[in-house]
């Protein structure tokens, strides 16, 4: 099987490459802006790609003709999306339309990665049948992308909704809650962490595993691919401090009204993962197990 990954330099992209390296029967075309940030496994090759360029995207897919495309490239900075609508729509919406069109042309299965931020947080945790109502421009852009995928005639597709992904990788462009808490407390900094928002944090390795289960079975439809524990960021911060034996007194418990941010966050999301467990055999790690895995990778 030939599989193409967009955004392969990102956290999820790097985890996908690491897991695909042990599957030599799958030939991987890894794509991203610029050069590859990590050594590629023997069954992978690199191709530069700007997914917002429809001609370049179509030419690349026609040249390689992958059977499966995993689309991880996205603009995920929620506040930046709120202040730069044009850039957000170009990457999160328009690129998905280009990709869906190209996948139909070559009869490729498209796995699109989405987010819990399509929900307003009034009724979480959410199943795949939850009613979307985004609060932010980022959430609207990802919902628009989902609708493009679902409405595309003759497209074989799946949508993997995920939530608060954490992990470590090479040359990461963005941090995540465990790395931020750990580095802040090690530096003796006091941090304020909200305790009135709820998420089911997802280890990057688990998200990659769920995506590959979808890609190899080509199961169709919407699947929640998240973690098993419903926690607040404050609870996550305390667990991180406890694991690394750092000073918990530096962590101040606050609510979301303490912060002024361009984009509104949903209060209580969380993703119900029963469908992925039953259909895909998906079995994610607990948050405590995830911290230990991340710590082992950091040495």
pLDDT tens, residue by residue, 50-101 = 999 999 999 999 999 999 999 999 999 999 999 999 999 999 999 999 999 9
- Residue 29: its pLDDT value, please? 98
pLDDT tens, residue by residue, 155-179 = 999 999 999 999 998 876 667 899 9
Give the whole-number percent of the chain exceeding pLDDT 70.
99
Map out the domains of the chain with their CATH numbers.
Answer: 2-169+201-229+270-285 (3.40.50.720)
User: What span, in angstroms and rounded, lies between the C-alpha atoms of 76 and 125?
Assistant: 21
Neighbours of 94 (CB within 10 A): 18
pLDDT tens, residue by residue, 15-41 = 999 999 999 999 999 999 999 998 999
* DSSP H or E stretch at residue 235: helix 233-244
> Mean pLDDT across the stretch 216-230?
98
Tell me, rounded to whole angstroms, the distance of Cα 6 from its chain centroid.
Answer: 12
Q: What are phi and psi of 4, to 5 degrees?
A: -115, 135
Neighbours of 150 (CB within 10 A): 14
Strand ranges inside 123-225, DSSP E: 156-162, 165-166, 191-194, 202-203, 221-224
What is the 8-class DSSP label of residue 29? E
Q: Say what the pTM is.
A: 0.97
Three-state SS for 167?
A: coil
Residue 295 in contact with residue 225, Cβ under 8 Å? no
Residue 48 in contact with residue 32, Cβ under 8 Å? yes
For tokens 């009613």, the residue is: 131
User: What span, in angstroms and rounded, lies between the C-alpha atoms of 29 and 44?
Assistant: 6
Tell me, rounded to whole angstroms, the distance of Cα 113 from its chain centroid.
Answer: 6
- Residue 173: its pLDDT value, please? 64
């Amino acid at each position: 099987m030939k599989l193409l990954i967009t955004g392969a330099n990102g956290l999820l992209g790097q985890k996908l490459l690491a897991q695909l390296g042990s599957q030599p029967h799958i030939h991987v075309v890894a794509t991203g802006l610029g050069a590859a940030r990590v050594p590629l496994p023997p069954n992978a090759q690199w191709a530069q790609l700007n997914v917002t360029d429809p001609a370049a995207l179509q030419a690349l897919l026609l040249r390689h003709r992958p059977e499966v495309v995993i689309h991880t490239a996205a603009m995920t900075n929620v506040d930046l999306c709120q202040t730069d609508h044009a850039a957000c729509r170009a990457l999160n919406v328009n690129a998905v339309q280009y990709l869906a069109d190209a996948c139909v042309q070559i009869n490729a299965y498209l796995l699109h990665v989405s987010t819990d931020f399509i929900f307003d947080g009034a009724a979480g945790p959410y199943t795949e049948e939850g009613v979307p109502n985004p609060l932010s421009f980022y959430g609207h852009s990802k919902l628009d992308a989902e609708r493009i995928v679902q409405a595309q005639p003759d497209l074989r597709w799946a949508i993997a909704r995920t939530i608060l992904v954490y992990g470590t990788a090479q040359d990461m462009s963005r941090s995540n809650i465990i790395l931020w808490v750990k580095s802040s407390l090690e530096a003796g900094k006091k941090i304020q962490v909200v305790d009135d928002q709820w998420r089911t944090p997802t280890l990057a390795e688990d998200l990659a595993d769920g995506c590959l289960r979808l890609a190899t079975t080509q199961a169709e439809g919407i699947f929640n691919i998240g973690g098993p524990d419903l926690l607040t960021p404050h609870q996550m911060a305390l667990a991180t401090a406890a694991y690394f034996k750092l000073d918990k007194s530096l962590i101040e418990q606050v609510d979301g009204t303490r912060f002024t941010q361009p984009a509104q966050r949903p209060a209580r999301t969380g993703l119900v993962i029963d469908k992925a467990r039953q259909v895909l055999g998906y079995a994610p790690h607990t948050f405590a197990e995830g911290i230990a895995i991340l710590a082992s990778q950091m040495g």
